Chains A and B, each alone.
Chain A
Amino acid sequence: EPEVTQTPSHQVTQMGQEVILRCVPISNHLYFYWYRQILGQKVEFLVSFYNNEISEKSEIFDDQFSVERPDGSNFTLKIRSTKLEDSAMYFCASSVGQGAGEQYFGPGTRLTVT
């Protein structure tokens, strides 16, 4: 069964550094998403992406965040200057459509900012 993959599984970075989290969505999916989960808290939506544009974003997704689909298979989340509070598990997801289609989640990347 096809699945969403994410790399790396764990990333440690120093405050102020840039990080790029990578995701490979399911190949025939057209909608892509990033969510994050701070330790012990709920999963929060960051951004959705369709047709090479951001289709929806949350208040969390400020100017330090950006997303890109650099080629036909990868979907990336960049954090320009990391803060301690960016430490979280980041989940990528993809779906065929926007409506009733299920979003398939990847295993997550744990980001630790020191």
Chain B
Amino acid sequence: AQSVTQLDSQVPVFEEAPVELRCNYSSSVSVYLFWYVQYPNQGLQLLLKYLSGSTLVKGINGFEAEFNKSQTSFHLRKPSVHISDTAEYFCAVHYSGTYKYIFGTGTRLKVLA
């Protein structure tokens, strides 16, 4: 079955510290991978995407993610977080041959002063 797992429901981290938010998906021949951020009572904002090519992708707000096909992972990283990064982060996977995105359950990032 196609599924996306975000193991960490909440991640507290101090300001200016690095952070990694984990995302794993069930194996498939071809996938397209996305990270979205959602601020309270707002919509989904695309942070970054992997469609093909380099496995290290850079996105907005200093975020980056690495596609690891053998580990079926697409972890999101930021070297130094700010208070304003406090939000919910969703990993999404588009399996080739389907129409839908499958979202993970989300990780709530809380940046502490």
A interface list, Cβ under 8 A from B: 31, 33, 35, 41-45, 48, 50, 55-56, 58, 91, 98-100, 102-103, 105-108
Contacts and interface: CB of A to CB of B under 8 A. Distances in A.
B63 to A, nearest CB: 16
Given A42-B90, A42-B105, A48-B100, A100 B44 contact: no
A102 B49 contact: yes
Contacts of A102: 34, 46, 49, 51
Interface in B24-57: 32, 34, 36, 42-44, 46, 49, 51-52
B103 to A, nearest CB: 4
Interface residues of B, number: 23
B72 to A, nearest CB: 18
A105 B44 contact: yes
B69 to A, nearest CB: 16
A99 B96 contact: yes
B38 to A, nearest CB: 9
A1 B36 CA distance: 18
